[in-house]
Amino acid sequence: MKDFVAVGLGPFNLGLACLTDPIDELDGLFLEARSEFAWHPGMMLEDATLQVPFLADLVTMADPTSRFSFLNHLKEIGRLYPFYIRESFFPLRQEYSDYCAWAASRLDSVRFDSPVTRIEHDGSAYVVTTGSGEQHEARRLVLGTGTQPYVPEVARGVLGPEAGAERLPQPAGVTCHSADYLRRKAELQELESITVVGSGQSAAEVYADLLAGIDERGYTLTWVTRSPRFFPMEYTKLTLELTSPEYTSYFQGLPGETREELLRGQRSLYKGISTELVNHIYDELYRRQVHGGTETTLVTNTAVTAASTVDGRVRLELHHVEEDEHFALETRGVVFATGYNREVPEFLSPIRDRIRWDDHGRFLADANYAIDVAGNEIYVQNAEEHTHGFVAPDLGMGAYRNSRLIAAMLGREAYPIEKRIAFQEFGVPDHLRSAP
């Protein structure tokens, strides 16, 4: 029997695999449906970088001496000195993905081609069944199943096949989610017009990539966002203190309604566009204006209210929020950079009664990221934004979360867990609190 079975192998569960590898008291198994490690392959643009420094790798913030660190990876492949000379804290997205694949290849606890189809509890242990019929028993579970591409319901009727899906007949033109962008890029660039819908980093990266090929290919390019402006991601140092253990604890202690309101107001902290990319897009538009202009349109404050196919085109019904005006756009291709949703996996159905849920049907995670009724059996990775705050998907907090998970399973801190790192106070300071 395993101490735990982890389902899914994104960066967070992969980091857990690396950090538990040297711990003899923990025997874990990591099951991944894919045949190899792949991190957002549909958005692996050549010059795209991480939005967090290299220290936010799988292990360093928990164990800087780990053999699974990003720097050790660079040393092994002979690129440590070039990375040093490059003088940038932010690795290319491709080299981060390569690093993760490198780490996975060095772990005996990882099993690819192992989709989980059912999880039950037999009274003494969890029984995890995979697509091949294999069964694994474990005392605990760690769920890291990630998110799925999201497109607003009003536009799903025109959406093409999802990433990795069998090619299906298109209702018109080429439509896809940004998660599938690179697979569909060549088709998109054969069209006479392309529209990008969305407001975050992915939308900006797709727009910038298509803008680079606009002269050679000759298409018109439109970028539509419902945001009132192209929000840059805030990255100032005191703001970064919100990605701290004490802010996570503070956030978790707030009432549910307050947490939801805070999350809505914090979107620019983690869903905005990098300042460098915003500036690059502007500079590129300016350069093109000097040399005669470019067939491109950027539209803010505009929501997609409906989508349909008309004479081989995609017709987007639009609503300008501030002017309260309805209008429409016809285009040959659409890239929906509209984010991701989290769904509860069907394989959890047999053990739903062992899980704690909030009023919205979401996992109710405690301070140690446990979601089960007992509080020490089922843990989640990046499924606790509503309880722990916007840092849930932050790569920089992965090692911290895993340190907490490991400590909860062991009953001791295998890796020192920081309790306080911020200069600022997030609640009322004890020395300023009024006496009763």
- Give me the pLDDT at residue 140, please: 98
Same domain, 155 and 130: no
DSSP state at residue 432: G
Confidence of residue 373 (pLDDT cuts 50, 70, 90): very high
Please, which pLDDT band fits residue 163 given cuts at 50, 70 and 90?
Answer: very low
Q: Which strands make up the sheet holding 193-197, listed edge to edge?
A: 174-177, 333-336, 193-197, 220-224, 296-299
Could you give phi then psi for residue 334, rounded to 5 degrees?
-135, 135
Query: For 191-200, what is the mean pLDDT?
Result: 95
In a domain, 263, yes or no: no
Is 428 a domain residue?
A: no
pLDDT for residue 436: 59
* C-alpha–C-alpha distance, residues 303 and 319, integer Å: 5
pLDDT of residue 161: 55
Over residues 186-211, the mean pLDDT reads: 96
Same structural domain for residues 108 and 205?
no
pLDDT at residue 166 greater than cutoff 80? no
127-138 pLDDT, tens digit each? 999 999 999 999
The answer to whether the beta carbons of residues 140 and 126 sit under 8 Å apart is: yes
Q: Which pLDDT tens digit goes with each residue over 50-90?
A: 989 999 999 999 999 999 999 999 999 999 999 999 999 99
Q: Are residues 74 and 28 in the same domain?
A: yes
**Residue 23 · residue 410 · CB < 8 Å:** yes
Predicted confidence (pLDDT) at residue 196 exceeds the cutoff of 80: yes
221 close to 194: Cβ distance less than 8 angstroms: yes
CA 404/CA 398 separation, integer angstroms: 10
Decide if 97 is inside a domain.
yes
* pLDDT at position 282: 96
Say how far apart CA 243 and CA 249 lie, in whole Å. Answer: 11
Is position 360 within any domain? Answer: yes
Per-residue pLDDT at 9 exceeds 50 = yes
The Cβ of residue 191 has, within 10 Å, a number of other Cβ atoms equal to 17
pLDDT tens, residue by residue, 12-31: 999 999 999 999 999 999 99
Residue 244 structure tokens: 């701290």
Domain endpoint, select from 336, 368, 384: 336
Do 397 and 291 have their domain in common?
Answer: no
Residue 239 lies in a domain: no
Same domain, 131 and 165: no
**Tens digit of each residue's pLDDT (9 = 90 or more) over 100-111:** 999 999 999 999
Confidence of residue 170 (pLDDT cuts 50, 70, 90): very low
Percentage of residues in the chain having pLDDT higher than 90: 82
351 plus 294 within the same structural domain: no
The partner residues of 317 in beta bridges, in order of sequence, read 306, 328
Quick one: pLDDT band at residue 395, thresholds 50, 70, 90? very high
Per-residue model confidence (pLDDT) at position 435: 63
Reported as a pLDDT band with limits 50, 70 and 90, residue 430 is confident
Confidence of residue 164 (pLDDT cuts 50, 70, 90): very low
Residue 114, phi-psi category: left (phi > 0), alpha (psi -120 to 50), beta (remainder): beta
- Look up the domain containing 159 and give its range: 150-233+271-336
- Residue 115, domain member (yes or no): yes
Residue 382 has pLDDT above 90, yes or no: yes
| Beta partners for residue 176, in sequence order | 335
**Residue 75 covered by a domain:** yes
Last residue of a domain, one of 336, 362, 379: 336
pLDDT by residue (tens digit) across 281-334?
Answer: 999 999 999 998 888 999 999 999 999 988 889 999 999 999 999 999 999 999
Q: Which of 336, 361, 385 is at the close of a domain? A: 336
Verify that 81 and 171 share a domain, yes or no. Answer: no
Regarding whether 311 and 199 lie in a shared domain, the answer is yes
Same domain (yes/no): 282, 167: yes
In the 8-state DSSP scheme, what is residue 354? Answer: G
Is the same domain home to 131 and 215? no
Mean predicted confidence (pLDDT) in 202-210: 97
Residues 185, 331, single domain; the answer is yes
More confidently predicted of 94 and 294: 94
What is d(CA 52, CA 158) in angstroms, rounded to the nearest whole number?
35
pLDDT of 222-279, one tens digit each?
A: 999 999 999 888 888 998 898 899 999 999 999 999 999 998 888 777 788 999 999 9
Cβ burial, residue 73 (10 Å; 0-12/13-18/19+): buried
- Residue 412: the pLDDT is 97
Query: Is the dihedral angle over the CA atoms 150, 155, 157, 161 positive or is it negative?
Result: negative
Task: Give the whole-angstrom CA distance, residue 101 versus residue 209.
Answer: 25
Burial of 266 (0-12, 13-18, 19+ CB in 10 A): middle
Domain count, the chain: 2
Residues forming beta bridges with residue 370, ordered by sequence position: 379
User: Are 242 and 202 in contact, with CB atoms under 8 Å apart?
Assistant: no
In sequence order, the β-bridge partners of residue 137 are: 127
As a whole number, the mean pLDDT across the chain is: 93
The answer to whether residue 315 sits within a structural domain is: yes
How far from each other are the two terminal CA atoms of the chain, in whole angstroms?
53
pLDDT for the residue 269: 78
Do residues 371 and 402 share a domain?
yes
For the cut 90, the answer to whether the pLDDT of residue 366 exceeds it is yes
In CATH, what number is assigned to the domain containing residue 328?
3.50.50.60
Q: Is the dihedral of CA 162, 31, 19, 416 positive or negative?
A: positive
Nearest CA to 389 among 261, 202, 198? 261
